[in-house]
Amino acid sequence: MTTICDLDPTTADALRSAVGEARVVTSFEALRVVLDTDLYEDVVVLGPTVDASSAFRLSSSLRVSRPTLSVILVRQRIDTGVLAEALRAGVRDVVDERDLYRLNASVRQLQTFAAALRDSATTSSGDGTPGPRGRIVTVFSAKGGCGKTTLATNLAATLADRGRRQVCLVDLDLAFGDVAIALQLFPAHTIADAVPLADVDFTAVQALLTPHSPGLTTLVAPVEPGSAESIPAALVAHILELLRAHFDYVVVDTPPAFDDQVLAAFDLSDVIALMATLDIPALKNLKLTLETMALLNYPRERWRVVLNRADSKVGLAISEVEKTLRAPISAQIPSSRDVPASINRGVPIALDDPRHPVSLAILDFAQNHVLGAPPPFPPERAVPPDLRTDRRGFLRRRRPA
């Protein structure tokens, strides 16, 4: 079901005519009553006369308490400020009030998304009790060249443990994904093939998977240029939920950007591995990433900082890096010329040489931060609210007003 809230009854009726079957309320108080009584609501459309700050507060609270409920914000004018605030608050879509076709399409898509989330959350034994849910691990870096794909492929192989566990590796770098070439796969299908499907269930997704080795299966990025733009974030989230319900672990490789698809993966992730190397540009981007994650209200206990090529002799001490980042380093992966050699052969080094120092470092990360109960991210080491980042990426204390 969809509920439309707008303070102007005429505008509310116009929005309902675009959406189709929907409930209309003309006050925020009435909307709260509806949400408190209808636990199966799918979509809330907040019209242009609804105060933006109230809309953002509602969306922020629903993001945690009702993850299957999506908020669409309709505005008379859309600018970057509105989009940024909507992103932080977890609004699923922002639509111009004149674009009624897009509003209709967005509502339909999010209704499908909500139904899929409910189904996957209660998949199981035929008695309706929730089944086991796999863990989602997302690997991210705001700077390219830090080794995201290397970590993602080797972590997935490590977790699969030659067939002891079932792991799916998802390449979410939809424009320039390298998982297929790094593993020397020749996929018949990619994630883009899910877009035209009317009903995406696990059977449909399973047909798009490409096996690699015992226990390790992949869902690779599109090979056609321009396909990335056709893959909506709601579809990505739906696919990840389906995979979570059928695999022990889902490892997600990402592009170096906070796009909608990456944020959808972050929303569902149990562990987010944030990568950098021992150079100032990469560490600056990692610092900004940590601050962005805090602004977007992602729980700190899910974050893990991974330092790649951590033994490079470049004059930067690990302790100084931790002090600058105000975050602990969860894993230090050494540098080795064997890693690019293994990539060129299409075999993760974790499979090719399990006793290699790089393989052991990734195994240690998997055992301590993915397989086991991960320790919380120390709140006292998070970025304090009175600090800001200057143009060079260094933290500076804010001047009192």
pTM, rounded to two decimals: 0.65
- Phi then psi dihedrals of residue 253, to 5 deg: -90, 145
Model pLDDT for residues 231-251, shown as the tens digit of each residue: 999 899 999 999 999 999 999
Confirm if 191 and 222 have CB atoms less than 8 A apart. yes
Task: Report yes or no: 206 and 231 within 8 Å, Cβ to Cβ.
Answer: no
Residues 179, 169 contacting (CB under 8 angstroms): yes
- How does pLDDT run across 47-57, given as a tens digit for each residue? 999 988 889 98
Pick from 33-37, 220-224, 272-276: least confident? 33-37
- How many whole angstroms separate alpha carbon 216 and alpha carbon 73? 40
- Reported as a single tens digit per residue, the pLDDT across 341-368 is 998 888 999 999 999 999 999 999 999 9
Which domains does the chain show, CATH number per domain? 2-121 (3.40.50.2300), 135-389 (3.40.50.300)
Write the pLDDT tens digit of every residue in 327-339: 889 999 999 999 9
